[in-house]
Structures are given as C-alpha cells and as structure tokens.
Amino acid sequence: MYLGFGYYYTYLTLCIIVMSLLKPEKQNDAITLSDRYLRDIRQQMLTLFETDKTVIDFGCGGGEFLKLLEPHVRYAIGIDRSFPKNSYAYDKDLRCGKNITFIKKVITRDISIDFNFEIATSTLFLHTVPRPTTLQLMALMREKARKAILCELTHPANLYSNMLLSIDQFFTGHKANFEEFKAKGCMEGLLYECGIKEYRIIPTKDKSLNFYCIDFEY
C-alpha cells in the first residue's frame, strides 16, 4: 500500500519507537531492521557502480553496502565512528580483510584521507553531520575522487512525512543537523552551495530517498 510519503521514515520510526520501549540491547535490532528495509535500495545503488573501481564509503555504518560491493570492487575503505556489534564491518575487524578495510574514525574531528579514490559514496550520512563538516566532505570528495554516488534524504513531501522525519531524527540523535540540511535545501541546496551544477538524480522506490551521481571530471 502506498501511503503518499517515504516508507523509510514510517518503517524506521516505528522500529525505533518499538525498540526504544524494549531493553537497550535490543537497539541493535532497529539497525538490523532498517538494514533489511534498505536492502532493495542498496541493490539499486549497486547497479550505479562500475566494476573494478576503488571506493570510499563515508559513514558506512555496519558496512552492509560495502559487503554487497565487495565482489565487484578493486579496493574499498569504509569509515565510521563506530561499527555495530555483529555487523559486517565489526566482524571484518577481526579477520583479515581482502579488498575492504574499515577504519574507525570520527569524521567531524579528523576528515583527512591519504589516498585518491575513483568513487566516493555515502548513504544517509551527509544530513547527520554539522553543515561545516558536510561542506568539507563534499570538498574532500571533489579533491580525492572522480565521482560521487550519494544516497540522501529528499525534502519531505508533506506535513505528515515531515513529522515522521522529525521523530526519526530525534530518536537517532541528529535532528539539529538534519533540520539545517533540510532548511538549506537538502542535497540540491548542498550541491548548489558547493558550486556543483551538473549531476544526475535517480529516484528510489522510496520517495524520501534519492541517489545523486556527480562526475567531478565533467
């Protein structure tokens, strides 16, 4: 049933509310549930990546997208401030990674990276960090990568969608950063502020999420 607003918020908000009423250790289940919801979107995102490229994923979370990408990538790095227990990224820490490395780092404190990449990516990350960091990240991607493939929130379509989003952002702890991201025109506003005028927007099955493909060499 299509309810006229992004499924993602409804799904994630309900998961988070239910899980927050349960024991704290159940919070990881909310992550698993949202991962399950994002599965189709990640599969669609995978089709945007050419094979045998080097990739960096900012705010990679449990590494679910890099896990999908692993057979197709030459080399990839995932960066996040924490890796949930039992996630792919967390387990990967314990064994010898082949072509994927996960680095635990707080990007707002240290944004530097030493290598160049063919593709920079992030999923639902840019709206979670303060605006200055988002701008720095875009500049870093432009400097270090040839392309960026980003999955981000779009402007909520109506009041109800807006309310669900606010609840979701409140529970996930980045409401203030998201409000600024939204007030400044979501991805379109960010790309405009960065002087990036040429990019492709690819819709997903969820009206609240789009892919933004930027060719920095254009």
Ligand X SMILES: C[S@@+](CC[C@H](N)C(=O)[O-])C[C@H]1O[C@@H](n2cnc3c(N)ncnc32)[C@H](O)[C@@H]1O
Chain positions contacting ligand X, by CB under 6 A: 38, 59-61, 64-65, 80-82, 106-108, 123-125, 128-129
Count of alpha carbons within 13 Å of 193, Cβ hemisphere only? 17
Backbone angles phi, psi at 93, to 5 degrees: -55, -35
Q: Of 108 and 162, which has the nearer Cβ to ligand X? A: 108
In this structure, are residues 121 and 56 in contact, taking their beta carbons and an 8 Å threshold? yes
Q: Of 53 and 67, which has the nearer Cβ to ligand X? A: 67
Q: Of all residues in the chain, what percent are helix, strand and coil, respectively (each to 5)?
A: 45, 20, 35
Count of alpha carbons within 13 Å of 70, Cβ hemisphere only? 16
Which residue is nearest to ligand X, using beta carbons? 61
Q: Of 128 and 154, which has the nearer Cβ to ligand X? A: 128
Instruction: Give the integer Cα–Cα distance in Å for 77 and 46.
Output: 16
Q: Of 33 and 163, which has the nearer Cβ to ligand X? A: 33
Q: Of 6 and 61, which has the nearer Cβ to ligand X? A: 61
What is the nearest approach in angstroms of ligand X to the Cβ of residue 7? Answer: 16
Instruction: Give the integer Cα–Cα distance in Å for 51 and 203.
Output: 22
What is the nearest approach in angstroms of ligand X to the Cβ of residue 208? Answer: 13
What is the nearest approach in angstroms of ligand X to the Cβ of residue 47? Answer: 16
Q: What is the dihedral of CA 186, 211, 152, 195, to 10 degrees?
A: -40
What is the nearest approach in angstroms of ligand X to the Cβ of residue 60? Answer: 5
Count of alpha carbons within 13 Å of 17, Cβ hemisphere only? 11
**Residues 69, 12, 214: CA angle, nearest 5 degrees:** 40
- Strands laid side by side in the 209-215 sheet: 100-104, 75-80, 54-58, 117-123, 145-153, 209-215, 200-203
What is the nearest approach in angstroms of ligand X to the Cβ of residue 68? Answer: 11
Q: Of 179 and 198, which has the nearer Cβ to ligand X? A: 179
What is the nearest approach in angstroms of ligand X to the Cβ of residue 128? Answer: 5
